[in-house]
Homo-oligomer: A and B are copies of this chain.
Amino acid sequence: MQSLDKFEIISELARRRGFFWPASEIYGGISGFIVFGPLGSVLKRRIEDKLRDRFIRRLGFFEIESPVIMLGKVFEASGHVNNFREPMVTCKGCKRNFRADHLLQEFARMSSTETEKLSLQELMDQIDKKGIQCPECGGTFYNPQQFLTMFSTTLGPYSEEIGYGRPEAAQGIFVEFKRLYECVRGRLPFAVAQIGHALRNEISPRQGPIRLREFTIMDLELFFDPEEPHCSMLKEVEKEVLRLIPAEIRLRGEEKPIMVTADEALNKGYIKTEWQAFFMALSKRFLVELGIPEDKQRFIEKLDWEKAHYSAQGFDQEIYLERWGWVEISGHNYRTNYDLKCHMEASGIDLRVFKRAKTKEKSGRFFPHVVEPSFGSDRLVYATLEYAHKTKEGRTLLSLPRDVAPIQLNIFPLVSKEGLPEKAKQLHQKLINEGFMVEYDESGSIGRRYARADEVGIPLGITIDYQTLEDDTVTLRDRDTWRQVRNKIEKLSELLHVYFDYKIEFKDLGHPIEK
């Protein structure tokens, strides 16, 4: 039997242990929709909460929550109705539809760079030239057409209004700019983020959590005065090294990244705005914290014909995944005043802000500019799992960062008799009351229970044994090294809190036990 690739291994583990799986399987499912199970939903939320902490709370920025269904007018104004379309081919045989560019990427090893600049006719020519057939039935294709990838519905009892499922959370921020600017009492710069579900009616999503029709997006919109583009927080990350592939290099047909610090990238003009560089450096740091090493990350600048319709400069932060190679994990776009301008024209409401300058002539109203980092939670979850997945002595180890692991602690009575379960359950309850995510497990041999815990990435196992009944000490086991230390129960909760905050290491949790 052929061996599974990493994606299959992760997907199998995810299904079996409850991280994620295809939605509504009992009804045959429908591609592009997945469910995050008991472990996956918590992992996903903890990653999102970490994103919140790093990109919003610590920076003094703001968050909103607006509806997934929005008025058609919003997306007509934003340009999505005209631009949010993908090239689609239909199989003459089975009549199934496919993304023309994805077929070329998957079966002709073309890069998205190459495919994205192709016209519909050129896409068709390439498909013929490369002899690509329908992956389902081997048939050939009709000519490609552009397909609007937003879900539409009608609002109200009269279907009087068209509504679309938002393809991005950003528009929910732009249309509320006026009130948001009041909320911050009229100062720039400020940023507003939104983390929520978004919908894209993808033509043929077949990549699990990597390409979904319903997914969770985190869009952050930083509004600044184009005449005062300085980012005061830049210094905190300016020495962060970025693996950058600027457009000029790509135009030479090269793909080798250059290594530059954030401030070098600015000084050399690779990145146009300080805020853009700031968020790129922050994003790199964030992914490192999720376990994705620096050399598996890169920032690739979008070429003119690849850029989103609203973007003056765009970088994709890509990470390396075993099955697909380099995959976008976040997008960094300089949206300028594009969106506010569109919505002002369409709504007739003045979305400019007033600036009082020294001279009366210089005073006046202007559009703030926008820099946007944008993440997809679902890909973050998958990437975190793929990089956490290790094998040790033939056993699976999910080496999740301990600040996002869905279960923090596992309580094991060494055997399920002679008062050990009772003692273990007391500790279990105590740690729950302290606010930890704790699981109790007494079924099967201690070895099997350790293995089960390692496979779902529980950082620490706490074992209650006979000695516990005598001196109230327990052993703590490290998931990654399988080392053990021993300590008093009363000492635990304080130590554990700082441990999960990464302020101390495993060895600091107690006295080492030599096996």
Contact = CB atoms under 8 A, between A and B. Distances in A.
B71 A26 contact: no
Interface stretch (A197-205, A260-268, A357-365): A197-205
Interface in A43-91: 44-45, 53, 57-58, 60, 62-71, 73-74, 88
A41 to B, nearest CB: 4
A404 to B, nearest CB: 15
Question: Could you say which interface size class chain A belongs to?
Answer: 35 or more
Q: By CB atoms of chain B within 10 A, which of A23, A40, A180, A437 has the most?
A: A23
Given A37-B183, A71-B30, A192-B38, A155 B213 contact: yes
24 contacts: A18-B182, A18-B183, A23-B175, A23-B176, A24-B175, A27-B71, A27-B74, A27-B346, A30-B156, A33-B67, A36-B66, A37-B64, A37-B180, A38-B62, A38-B64, A38-B183, A40-B64, A41-B64, A58-B433, A69-B213, A97-B157, A147-B157, A156-B201, A185-B443
B214 A68 contact: yes
A63 B41 contact: yes
Interface string A92-126: 00010100000000000000000000000000000
Contact of A66 (B35, B38, B196, B343): B35
A426 interface: no
A201 B17 contact: no
A387 to B, nearest CB: 22
A84 B341 CA distance: 41
A296 interface: no
A153 interface: yes
A165 interface: yes
Given A23-B70, A36-B65, A65-B41, A165 B153 contact: yes
Given A24-B74, A26-B343, A68-B197, 9 more contacts: A18-B180, A21-B179, A23-B175, A26-B347, A57-B437, A58-B433, A60-B432, A157-B201, A185-B443
A189 interface: no
A466 interface: no
A158 interface: yes
A202 B267 CA distance: 55
A356 to B, nearest CB: 16
Contacts of A443: 185
A169 to B, nearest CB: 12
B214 A67 contact: yes
B69 A155 contact: no
A41 B183 CA distance: 13
Contact of A30 (B45, B66, B155): B155
Interface string A331-354: 000000000000100110101000
A15 interface: yes
Contacts of A71: 24, 27, 30
A466 to B, nearest CB: 26
Contacts of A351: 26
A272 interface: no
Contacts of A18: 179-180, 182-183
